[in-house]
Amino acid sequence: MNSTEENTASKKRVLILCTGNSCRSQMAEVMWNELGKDLWHAESAGSKPAGYVHPLAIQTLKETGFSHGELASKSITEFDGQEFDLVVTVCDNAKDSCPTFAGARKVLHWPFEDPADATGSDEQKLKVFLVVAGMIRERIVAYLGKLEGDACAS
């Protein structure tokens, strides 16, 4: 095991799920890995992966100061048999239409609008991506802050 694998193995694992794994879950994966880097390792996947990461999701990450690295749209089946400390679904429509994952210790549902559905000019679409990314970031920061607060209280 190399040092990167050892660092990842000692962290809590979160899987972020949506349908296409091209926008919301990709942005959440990058943000969670950077914001929770000392304690968490995030992955993302979709029940029907789009096969690409939306260019505006990548642009949004760049514009909000997150390094996106090598992102790829992944299928939930790539994680079959794995266990995660937390699974977060980010579909904005009915919870029932989001994928589920059997290897989860805890599941949260954080519905966000799908920025890929935005219409208008590229500039108008980017504004929607930036708003959704901001909401995702706020939710992750609040969750990680709550955990930190819980740890301090005990």
Residues with a known catalytic role: 18, 91, 98
Give the alpha-carbon dihedral of 139, 143, 149, 154, to 10 degrees. Answer: 160
Burial class (CB in 10 A: 0-12, 13-18, 19+), 135: middle
Instruction: Give the number of C-alpha atoms closer than 13 A to the C-alpha of residue 137, restricted to the C-beta side.
Output: 15
Angstrom distance (rounded) from CA 133 to CA 7: 27
Phi, psi of 17 (to 5 degrees): -120, 145
Count helices and strands in the chain by DSSP H and E runs: 4, 4
